[in-house]
Amino acid sequence: MGSSTDNKTQINPLKAIISPTIPPCKTKTTGDDFRNVLLVGAALIATVTFQAGITPPGGVWQSDDNQGHRAGHAVYSDQKVPFQIFLIFNTIALTSSIFLLLCLTFGYPYFLEVLIATVSMMGTYSSGIYCITPYESVSFRLIFVAAPAPVVIRFVIWVVASAVRRPTLPIQK
């Protein structure tokens, strides 16, 4: 077994997940530098996932044909289950990065503008997904469940962490 000083230098992974302001590993990058790195990463993920949703793999059909394909629908949507998995995970990645952007900009100047822009971007994304997806290929209910997943997961973690941290009262005899 290690000494008690070994335990002080190790970071508890559960605490790193629960406390979003604590970096998961010790690094020389601290404070605003670390925040800026996260902002850039989140912005890049939001950009890539938004683009992947609007321009899905394989593109979209350019014209109607005799096989039932309609112009503007995703070519990839013919593979129902893989396309649905793609949309769900792409949506989770997009909403996670947007949630991170909002968390990192909360309390800073122009937060309201960032909030309006991200909500508008989600509206644009939803509209685009609706347009390129044939009605029969995707259950939009699953996408609407997937979209708030990052916020719900963070909230559940916060509730569990609060319950764990709450001091217990001694039992009276």
Q: What amino acid occupies position 151?
A: V
On whether residue 101 sits in a domain, the answer given is: yes
Instruction: Give the CA distances from residue 128 to residues 60, 112, 138, 149, in Å, rounded to whole numbers and listed in that order.
Output: 12, 24, 14, 20
On whether residue 172 sits in a domain, the answer given is: no
On whether residue 169 sits in a domain, the answer given is: no
On whether residue 13 sits in a domain, the answer given is: no
Domain of 87, in residue numbers: 31-61+69-154
Q: Which residue has the higher pLDDT, 169 or 153?
A: 153
Give me the helices (H) in the chain, please.
Answer: 4-9, 13-18, 32-54, 80-105, 111-132, 140-146, 149-165
| pTM greater than 0.75 (yes/no) | no
Q: How far apart are CA 129 and CA 56, in angstroms?
A: 9
On whether residue 50 sits in a domain, the answer given is: yes
- Whether 51 has a pLDDT exceeding 90, the answer reads yes
Q: What amino acid occupies position 66?
A: N
53: closest CA among 99, 89, 80, 87? 87
When pLDDT is averaged across residues 111-138 and rounded to a whole number, the result is 86
Q: Which residue has the higher pLDDT, 159 or 172?
A: 159
Judged by average pLDDT, the poorest of 24-33, 63-72, 128-137, 150-159 is 24-33
On whether residue 1 sits in a domain, the answer given is: no
Q: How far apart are CA 36 and CA 107, in angstroms?
A: 15
Judged by average pLDDT, the poorest of 109-118, 137-146, 164-173 is 164-173
Would you state the pLDDT for residue 142?
75
Give the dihedral sign, CA 116/118/122/125: positive
Average pLDDT taken over every residue of the chain: 79
On whether residue 126 sits in a domain, the answer given is: yes
CB atoms < 10 A from the CB of 50, how many? 20
**What pLDDT, in 10s, does the model give residues 54-112?**
998 899 889 988 888 888 888 988 888 888 899 999 999 999 999 999 988 888 899 99
Would you state the pLDDT for residue 151?
83
In this prediction, residue 138 has a pLDDT band, given cuts at 50, 70 and 90, of: low
Q: How far apart are CA 102 and CA 85, in angstroms?
A: 26
On whether residue 170 sits in a domain, the answer given is: no
Would you state the pLDDT for residue 5?
46
Number of domains in the chain: 1
Q: Which residue has the higher pLDDT, 38 or 1?
A: 38
19: closest CA among 158, 171, 160? 158
Would you state the pLDDT for residue 23?
46
Instruction: Give the CA distances from residue 170 to residues 126, 162, 166, 167, 173, in Å, rounded to whole numbers and listed in that order.
Output: 51, 18, 13, 9, 9
Q: How far apart are CA 83 and CA 39, in angstroms?
A: 29
